[in-house]
Amino acid sequence: MKAVHFGAGNIGRGFVGLLLHEAGYELVFADVAEALITQLAAADSYAVHEVGENPTVRTVDNFRALNSSLQEAELVAEISTADIVTTAVGPHILKFVAPAITKGIAARDAGLAPLQVMACENAINATDILRDEIAALWDDAAGSLDSLAVFANTAVDRIVPNQDAGQGLDVTVETFYEWVIDRKPFAGAPPAIPGATFVEDLAPYIERKLFTVNTGHAAAAYFGFEAGLEKLSDAMADQDVAEDVRAVLEETKQLLVSKHGFSNEEQEAYVQKILVRFSNPYLPDTVSRVGRAPLRKLSRNERFIGPAAELAERGIVPEALLGAIAAALRFNDPADAEATELAQILASSTPAEATARITGLTPEHPLFDAVSTLVEERQAEPAKAPA
Ligand SMILES: NC(=O)C1=CN([C@@H]2O[C@H](COP(=O)(O)OP(=O)(O)OC[C@H]3O[C@@H](n4cnc5c(N)ncnc54)[C@H](O)[C@@H]3O)[C@@H](O)[C@H]2O)C=CC1
Ligand SMILES: O=P(O)(O)OC[C@H]1O[C@](O)(CO)[C@@H](O)[C@@H]1O
């Protein structure tokens, strides 16, 4: 069994690659980072250090590595004979990996089982986004795309911080992980990945993950950044930050319980578990990493505006989420390109224009005025040096 995985970064090596390896797949990593690919191609194995409760070390071997920019022909050949293609590159990068996957699918022998394609990104239905990119490039002369490939959405959850440069290929991760995959697209048996869970209806799992784990984590990052803290676990140890995060998760709990029918107790247990995960002092995680890409995180269907908009549509004012959105508007990490772009939008637009551009909300939406007020308040603040 062979899997081609795009993105040999934190989640690629520390989660998806690890689980596929443990499921018995031979791995081909594809990435554009030449130094990383050279290192992987020269290595026989790397270690995944799981830290926290019951720490352990796992070894990943039986992999190869290709530069997806420089070695496209080899990559297409690998995809043409692979069983699985996965990605962990970031939702905005999917369009750049689509061409090689399209060519690889088109080059498959007719007798092969359909290629199983799963995008493992923090975005709702990321595989659908990838499928749309592939479908746009697809030439029907190569056959029917849906008979040659299966596209399954997934939700991936494991905290993998940025790695210490001195660590080489080894990755430090939390012990917890969850990979939930939509079973429906697989006509026969789904792939045998013991670490994954297959479900008939992925929507509640994706929304619960994005609007609890990712909303809470990013909220801790933005509140922590405002408080001048660097480590995520230090932010969670700050009583004010912890209370603000808790209040945000109370609001998303209200939405998730009423929308998806999770019981209050079940959702509360889920929240408690993730608060412990965020506070893991052994994870070298930073508010800069967890808060990265604020424009993506403040976009319409993402972790803040998504749940806040749905609550507002139900006549509820999401005070705590609005507090997190206000903190996100103050995330001016100079190392983050999206934080710089956010500052430029705030500096060059009216409050209504900036609100629409940043959040995708329309002026008629019941959340619009509240966010526009926050934007206006942020614009009125003197330019502040990063904390
Ligand atoms: N780190 C985490 O804790 C989690 C991350 N995720 C999601 O996983 C995805 C990846 O995140 P990380 O691993 O943290 O990021 P990362 O930055 O560590 O890894 C991304 C990798 O993709 C590579 N890449 C960029 N463009 C590429 C292209 N065109 N072709 C091939 N490779 C390319 C980069 O060189 C990098 O090695 C994101 O969607 C993120 O939201 C999901 C759950 C947890
Ligand atoms: O690219 P994003 O959305 O910040 O993804 C990384 C996030 O996903 C998580 O792993 C949660 O699964 C958090 O560790 C992390 O903040």
Give residue 269 CA to ligand 2 midpoint distance, Å: 20
Give the residue numbers spanning the domain of 68.
Answer: 2-201
- What is the percentage of the chain residues whose pLDDT exceeds 90? 94
CATH assignment at residue 305: 1.10.1040.10
Q: Is residue 237 part of a domain?
A: yes
pLDDT in tens, 330-344: 999 999 999 999 999
Please state the atom number of ligand 1 nearest to the C-alpha of residue 96.
29
Q: Are residues 189 and 234 in the same domain?
A: no
Q: Are residues 13 and 73 in the same domain?
A: yes
Residue 165 confidence (pLDDT): 84
Q: Are residues 172 and 34 in the same domain?
A: yes
Whose Cα sits closest to atom 3 in ligand 2?
122
Rounded Cα–Cα distance for residues 283 and 171 (Å): 11
Q: Is residue 387 part of a domain?
A: no
Pocket of ligand 2 (CB under 6 A): 122, 157-159, 213-214, 217, 290, 292
Q: Are residues 282 and 255 in the same domain?
A: yes
Rounded Cα–Cα distance for residues 280 and 11 (Å): 18
**Residues 55-74: what's their mean pLDDT?**
98
Candidate of 13, 154, 217, 288 to mutate for ligand 2, largest count of ligand atoms within 8 Å of Cβ: 217
Rounded Cα–Cα distance for residues 64 and 73 (Å): 15
Task: Specify the DSSP class assigned to residue 60.
Answer: E
Domain count, the chain: 2
Give residue 12 CA to ligand 1 midpoint distance, Å: 7
Residue 383: pLDDT band by 50, 70, 90 thresholds?
A: low
Residue 382 confidence (pLDDT): 74
Q: Are residues 256 and 345 in the same domain?
A: yes
Whose Cα sits closest to atom 13 in ligand 2?
159
pTM of the model: 0.92
Q: Is residue 385 part of a domain?
A: no
Candidates 203, 153, 178; CA nearest to 273 is: 178
**Residues 242-264: what's their mean pLDDT?**
97
Please state the atom number of ligand 2 nearest to the C-alpha of residue 291.
4
Among 201, 232, 262, where does a domain finish?
A: 201
Whose Cα sits closest to atom 14 in ligand 2?
159
Q: Are residues 18 and 68 in the same domain?
A: yes
Give residue 37 CA to ligand 1 midpoint distance, Å: 14
Among 153, 174, 201, where does a domain finish?
A: 201
Contact between residue 214 and residue 304 where contact means Cβ atoms under 8 Å apart? no
**Neighbouring-strand partners of residue 26:** 2
Candidate of 11, 162, 213 to mutate for ligand 2, largest count of ligand atoms within 8 Å of Cβ: 213
Inform me whether the pLDDT recorded for 386 exceeds 70.
Answer: no
Using only C-alpha atoms, what is the Rg of the chain?
A: 21
Q: What are the CA-CA distances from residue 331 to residues 106, 229, 238 (Å)?
A: 44, 12, 18
Whose Cα sits closest to atom 12 in ligand 2?
157
Number of DSSP helices (H) and strands (E) in the chain, helices first = 19, 12
